[in-house]
Chain A
Amino acid sequence: MGLAGYIIRRILLLIPTFFIATAIIFLLIHFAPGDPIQLMFAESGHPVSPLIIEQVRRELGLEQPLHVQYLIWIGKMLSGDLGVSYSAQFGRPVLSLIGERVWVTVAIMLTAEAVSLVFALALGVIAASKQYSAVDNLCTVSALLGYSMPTFWTALVSIMIFAVWLGIFPSFGFMTHGVELAPFERVVDVARHLVLPVTVISFVYTAYLFRLVRSNVLEVLRQDYITTARAKGVKERMVVYKHALRNALLPTVTFVGLSVGFILSGSVVVETVFSIPGLGSLFTEFALKRDYPALMALSLMITVMVLLANLCTDIAYGLLDPRIKY
């Protein structure tokens, strides 16, 4: 069978998982108390004629039984139609609403993952190989701070220092509005806006990853085969990077793969504080308004993202650990 067969089997398994997940999400969303039509009009602050409420309910197909609504949704979803949002921009397809936002969050998430991975690996290995040294203690204390400070607070303080006092970075948003910029200047502008949010997420995430890498490397360094390698006269650097790190990476990879959800939830907070219109803030907005089609589409996307991340983890595991049989 080999690796290819293994991957194909994993992908086939994704299909039933996917349908079960969407059915559960559909039920959860529709069983949550509250009526989207009521919310639509309660928000407007005006007395609304019942005539209009019933008219809108019919237009949106909400008078149908639930299983019929689900089957209609599945049918449309398979043909690529995820419906129209109830709450944001009348008549706008949900897919385009998400499409214009997803890149913001993905850009922040990927950059934060990459930055954290680099820092956590480097610092984790150094700290582990020099346990209880000044460097180790400094890193451990910083990590403690990193995961015990609330993200919300870290974000506000970073705005205070870097935007208000030092004036180096913008205080909020995704880009500067009201000015014409050349394409290259626009890229720089967006990058400047993303520095603080990415740093805040990375800080927390590095803290988690660092602790994981450090403890894993420490554990591996105590193994017999490391002692053997040292006894054979292998250089310490080779011992740490070739023999210890590769084995210590396995649990880290699992963690990174499974933490897509973790980072997404972190991005909800960071996006709110920095007023960045990404997936996180979109999700909160839609959930509060019971925007069924938009919520289903977003959940669908996150389900797919998590499933794919898990698939990648499985594959990476296979590559890293020769003991795993396909």
Chain B
Amino acid sequence: MAGAQQEQVPPITIHWTVLAGDTKKLEIAELMKKELTQIGVNVQIESLEKASYFAHTYFSPGLTWDDGGMDADYMGYSWMLTDYVWYIGCYASEGLPPVGWNYWAWTNGVADNLLRAGMGSYNTTERLQHLNAWQEMHQEDVGTIIVGYPLYAQMTRKEVKGYSGMYRAYDAGNWTVEGKTRADQVIVKYASHPTTGFVTGLLPFYLGTGYIQQNTLYRSLYQVGLTPDGKYAAVPDMAESVEFSSDGMAATFHLRRDIKWHDGVPFTSKDVKYTFDAILDPKTEAEYYGDFSAAVKSVEAPDDYTVVLHLAKKSPELTTLVMTSYSMIVPEHVLGKISNDKLKTSEYNTKTPPPGTGPFKFKAWTRAESFEVEAFDGFYRGAPFLKGIVFETVTEPMTALSALRARDVDMMDIYFSTDIPDEVPKVEADPAFHVERIPYPRTLFIALNHKHPVLANPLVRQAIAYLVPYEQIRDVVYKGMLQLGNSPIHPATWGWNPKAPSYTYDPAKAKELMAKAAYSPWPPPEVVTPEAVIPASAYVIPVLGGLVVGLIVGFGAAAVVMRKRKAE
């Protein structure tokens, strides 16, 4: 009678939120549902359509499923390549939504202090010590269960050279096509993924999606670059250098003097001051307002090629803040006459962007269809090789791949590779194409609600971390396109701690931890009670009886019908 007992519902139930249509989230929820029965946890999968999904996760921080939030959720966060701008917002107690992204409400005072200390010092060695300790703390306390880092592949025709998927088209000025010259006026077609293809606005304050297209038009003070030791870091672009004041509360940027806007007007510190002031004004509704205003108090331009940022707190991550797509510099001489609250709806955001300083000028934009840019010969790093780039919005990954094979496009966005991992090796084997595998910084993790009565116990969280079938997820769900992980911080970025402990699949250990947390073992040991044993005859008699009654009724009915027919 053991079977009867196993059918009992396990004593603990947690609700696992899944975004409808996201097959990976669903597959992982199903794997975990199977594994967690081993420790008496029943996983109820809640498949939610996008709007409800966000309402239950980001916008109900710390609430359990029963109160309108979530208990467990599989999620991925993408990072800047160079520094921890977002780590406090994602992992510390002050990062609860809507100010931050820590919707699972991990509030560990010790870890928070380590992270804050790491973020508040300009001394690299000191920072690294704090951040290493923080990563170890995260693993021990299971702030989140780190599953791994996805691998991306940029698939292109083999003639296309000079790009790196890591730069997301910011390097488009370097793209070339083998066997062609500048005189051939080559246009490259780039299939943009739905997450980046639907350009919503043209000003970098509001880009949302479409930052790839904007990366070709605008420049920022700093950019992502590869240092000689093979790590990614913020390197100067429109700025030549930066120096911090002795108290660490001001940063002085020296700008390049050879930069011109697409309309020929020289670029000066006025433009930088205008851009940063606009971001700092809440009326602009810039997406970057939160991050930027937390670090920068005011902006000053003492001369044409110097900008001073007065800081709200010590900000070692400042060069990253002035590097991302979101703080790209826009021209004061064009936008300055528009009041900040009108910028969002102005034609510069909805129809034609203002001039930029990037290698390409805007040419045409058809919403949800295509975005075209053409070479700007006056680019300060030299005229680009390509005559232009056409960004095509392709909504279906298999169609994008067919388009590459049919030569309707020359490059595919890196995000397609995670939708169709099976196809990547096939493209790799085809000599007509080139595949660049890149570790674009994204961390995949399971968020367990720290305010949930059961999950609040770190022993339970550890037990669950030991039940994640990591290798199965890598090989089956991600078809090998996943690197298993040990930290929220991505290995390709500065400060990753290789010594932070990682979890492995170990059911015995999980059961041990549950026992330590004073939960009784599951399934409960078999107890055979004599009165529970029902003799076989107890089944046989009713079944035979039913059969006989059925036959009598059936034949009777048939006889009645036959007699009626005869009578007719």
Residues of A within 8 A of B (CB): 32-36, 38-39, 41-53, 55-56, 87-92, 97, 100, 156, 159-160, 163-164, 167, 170-174, 177-178, 271-275, 277, 281-282, 285, 288-290
A171 x B282 contact (CB < 8 A): no
Residues from chain A with a CB closer than 8 A to the CB of B122 are none
Q: A89-B201, A277-B368 are in contact. List 19 more A-B contacts (CB 8 A).
A: A34-B50, A41-B287, A44-B208, A47-B95, A48-B287, A49-B289, A88-B198, A156-B398, A159-B402, A160-B402, A163-B402, A164-B402, A164-B405, A164-B406, A172-B394, A177-B370, A178-B372, A277-B366, A285-B368
Taking a contact as CB atoms under 8 Å apart, the answer to whether A172 and B369 are in contact is no
Task: Given A34-B52, A91-B350, decide whether A171 and B290 contact each other with a Cβ distance below 8 A.
Answer: no
Are B402 and A35 interface neighbours, CB within 8 A? Answer: no
A47 CB contacts on chain B under 8 angstroms: 86, 89, 95, 97-101, 290-291
Contact across chains for B393 and A275 when beta carbons are under 8 A apart: yes
Which residue on A lies nearest to B389, using beta carbons? A178
Q: Which of B78, B98, B390, B399 lies in contact with A48, CB distance below 8 A?
A: B98
A42 touches B287 (CB 8 A): no
Main secondary structure of the interface of B (DSSP, over half): mixed
A33 touches B367 (CB 8 A): no
- CB atoms of B50 and A163 under 8 A apart: no
Given A46-B290, A52-B289, residue A38 in contact with residue B54 (CB < 8 A): yes
Any A CB within 8 A of the CB of B403: yes
Q: Does B187 contact A (CB under 8 A)?
A: yes
Residues of A within 8 A of B289 (CB): 48-49, 52
Contact B49 A178, beta carbon cutoff 8 Å: no
Chain A residues with CB under 8 Å of B395's CB are: 271-273, 275, 281
**A91 in contact with B392 given A32-B51, A47-B101 (CB within 8 Å):** no
What are 12 residue pairs bridging A and B, where the CB atoms are less than 8 Å apart in the complex? A33-B49, A38-B58, A47-B97, A47-B99, A52-B289, A90-B344, A91-B350, A172-B392, A173-B392, A177-B370, A178-B390, A275-B395
Identity of the chain B residue whose Cβ is nearest the Cβ of A33 in the assembled complex:
B52
Chain B interface residue count, Cβ-Cβ cutoff 8 angstroms: 60
Q: How far is the CA of A44 from the CA of B200 in the complex (A)?
A: 11
Contacting residues, chain A, for B150 (C-beta < 8 A): none
Least CB distance, B315 to chain A, in whole angstroms = 16
CA distance A76 to B400 in the complex (A): 41
Q: A168 to B290: give the CA distance in the assembly, Å.
A: 51
User: In the assembly, what is the distance between CA of A114 and CA of B392, in Å?
Assistant: 30
B399–A172 touching, CB < 8 Å: yes
Docked pose: A38 CA to B103 CA in angstroms:
14
Q: Closest CB-CB distance, A224 to chain B, in whole Å?
A: 26
Also in contact, A171 and B58, with CB within 8 A (given A88-B200, A275-B393): no
Contact of B393 with A277 in the complex, beta carbons under 8 Å: yes
- A50 near B99: Cβ-Cβ < 8 Å: yes
Which chain B residue has the least Cβ–Cβ distance from A178?
B390
Choose one: A52, A87, A89, A275; the contact of B285 (CB below 8 Å). A52
- A248 to B400: give the CA distance in the assembly, Å: 44
CA–CA, A10 to B78, complex, Å? 57
A170 CA to B406 CA, complexed, in Å: 8
Q: Are A172 and B51 in contact (CB under 8 A)?
A: no
Q: Nearest-CB distance from A60 to chain B (Å)?
A: 12
Q: Are B285 and A55 in contact (CB under 8 A)?
A: yes
How far is it, in angstroms, between the C-alpha of A45 and the C-alpha of B49 when the chains are bound? 18
* Complex interface: chain B residues within 8 A of A46 (CB): 287-288, 290-291, 326
